[in-house]
């Protein structure tokens, strides 16, 4: 059994039952078209008092459940689908590394590059493959800058489901290789990620398949939520700040949802402040957070390909989460990103993608400008493995 009670629209609050396939809130998304941030993104709701009861009983039976290794139980309580539907390939339960070697202060690094495809995106693919199994779909389509696609290709392969990918031809070679070796059908798009997003939407309207475009289905956010639940389970106290590489704003929204769910279930009082780390030319969410008005990023062009987005699909939701959590959004340059990537590799032993290193660059930026309080407990989300884009490193040399 699960405690999932249905969907709620993050824009108008309308509720929808679990049952047939649903993507966006039908009334809020009526005038949505590709090329604008998504409207009427749905989120999952749960029977929170029942979860609280079960978690408390679990803690009585297993008083050290907060120690690493016990989070599966917590993730299950806040998960929308039956365990039997999940793929066999293990996803998540990634390490949290503490280090003082980067800044002198203690920093916690949540390294998701150790997921099966080398990326955080496996968390969303995992749940979407389970949803495809529930609904009887044999095919899932996705648009991606590379990581969501290589992730979907891998997780689909583990479950015998066909993956159809739309990705920019300019995606890093290693990610395109991953897509091919896992047997996915790859359509390269002469254009940007935003063009690929539109192409995948068109495809799913005319084919019998599930669409995994980020934030389009509530489970893409819900899958990403598991990283926030793991942080809660891995740390004795929730962190003060979580720095998140931010392109579309969906990882940020997923982590925010974890802490909102925990608060709603009465397991937590204060949610961590979320900090969106953006590349300076791909800064639509930062500009939106600063001005209150949405505008596309003018011309995204960054070495951090995973967060290079002109029109962030979850812009509205991500900015709402930044405000609700008391967080902020920070721009960093490619030079700062590449220097942070090198520092992480040389001082922590973690080789992460440029987009992941944007979190460390943003952290230094915040500290210099006095934007975070002293002695704060800080988590940096490192969402992808550095081997996915070795060209970026060559570029830095």
Q: Applying CB under 5 A, which residues contact Zn ion?
A: 9, 11-12, 14, 25, 28, 40
Q: Kindly state the smallest distance separating residue 362's Cβ from Zn ion, in Å.
A: 32
Tell me how far, at minimum, the Cβ of 116 lies from Zn ion, in Å.
34
Helix (H, G, I), strand (E, B) or coil at 8: strand
Minimum CB separation of residue 41 from Zn ion in Å reads 9
Q: Which is nearer to Zn ion, 43 or 112 (CB)?
A: 43
Query: Please, what is the minimum distance in Å from the beta carbon of residue 10 to Zn ion?
Result: 8
Q: In the complex with Zn ion, which residue's Cβ is closer, 126 or 219? A: 219
Q: Which DSSP symbol is given to 80?
A: S
Give per-residue burial for 183-192: e unless 16+ CB within 10 Å, then b: ebebbebeeb
Rounded to the nearest whole angstrom, what is the least distance from the CB of residue 265 to Zn ion in the complex?
A: 24
Class of residue 388 by CB neighbours under 10 A (exposed 0-12, middle 13-18, buried 19+)? buried
43/305 with CB nearer Zn ion: 43
CB of 263 vs Zn ion, minimal distance in Å: 22
Q: Which is nearer to Zn ion, 25 or 330 (CB)?
A: 25
Mark residue 183 as left, alpha or beta (left: phi above 0; alpha: psi -120 to 50; beta: remaining).
left
For Zn ion, the closer of residues 8 and 187 by Cβ is: 8
CA–CA dist 335, 302 (Å, integer): 10
d(CA 172, CA 273): 32
Rounded CA gap, 175 and 203, in Å? 21
Which residue, 9 or 102, has its beta carbon nearer to Zn ion? 9
14-22 CB contacts, 8 Å cutoff, 24+ apart: 15/45, 16/42, 18/80, 21/135, 21/210
């Amino acid at each position: 059994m699960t405690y999932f009670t249905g969907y709620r629209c993050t824009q108008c609050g309308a509720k929808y039952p679990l049952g047939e396939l649903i993507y966006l809130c039908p009334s809020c998304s009526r005038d949505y078209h590709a090329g604008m941030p998504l409207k009427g993104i749905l989120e999952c709701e749960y029977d929170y008092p029942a979860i609280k009861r079960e978690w408390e009983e679990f803690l009585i039976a297993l008083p050290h459940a907060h120690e690493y290794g016990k989070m599966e139980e917590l993730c299950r309580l806040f998960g929308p689908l039956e365990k039997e539907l999940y793929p066999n390939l293990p996803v998540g339960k990634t390490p949290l590394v503490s280090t003082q070697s980067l800044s002198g202060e203690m920093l916690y690094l949540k390294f998701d590059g150790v997921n099966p495809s080398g990326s955080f995106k496996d968390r969303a693919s995992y749940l979407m493959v389970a949803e495809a199994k529930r609904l009887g779909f044999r095919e899932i389509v996705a648009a991606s800058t590379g990581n969501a696609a290589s992730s979907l290709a891998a997780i689909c392969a583990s479950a015998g489901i066909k993956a159809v990918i739309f990705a920019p031809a300019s995606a890093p070679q290693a990610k395109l290789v991953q897509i091919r070796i896992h047997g996915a059908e790859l359509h390269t798009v002469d254009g940007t990620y935003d063009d690929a997003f539109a192409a995948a939407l068109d495809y799913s309207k005319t084919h019998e398949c599930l669409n995994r475009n980020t934030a389009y289905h509530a489970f893409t956010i819900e899958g990403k939520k598991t990283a926030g639940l793991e942080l809660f389970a891995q740390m004795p106290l929730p962190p003060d700040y979580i720095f998140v590489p931010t392109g579309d704003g969906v990882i940020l929204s997923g982590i925010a949802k974890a802490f909102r769910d925990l608060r709603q279930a009465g397991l937590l009082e204060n949610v961590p402040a979320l900090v969106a780390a953006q590349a300076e030319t791909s800064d639509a969410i930062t500009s939106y957070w600063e001005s209150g008005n949405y505008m596309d990023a003018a011309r995204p062009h960054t070495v951090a390909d995973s967060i290079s987005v002109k029109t962030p699909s979850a812009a509205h939701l991500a900015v709402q989460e930044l405000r609700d959590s008391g967080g902020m959004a920070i721009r960093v340059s490619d030079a700062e990103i590449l220097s942070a990537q090198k520092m992480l590799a040389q001082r922590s032993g973690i080789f992460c993608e440029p987009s992941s290193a944007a979190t460390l660059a943003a952290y230094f930026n915040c500290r210099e400008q006095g934007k975070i309080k002293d002695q704060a407990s800080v988590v940096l989300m490192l969402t992808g493995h550095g081997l996915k884009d070795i060209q970026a490193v060559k570029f830095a040399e």
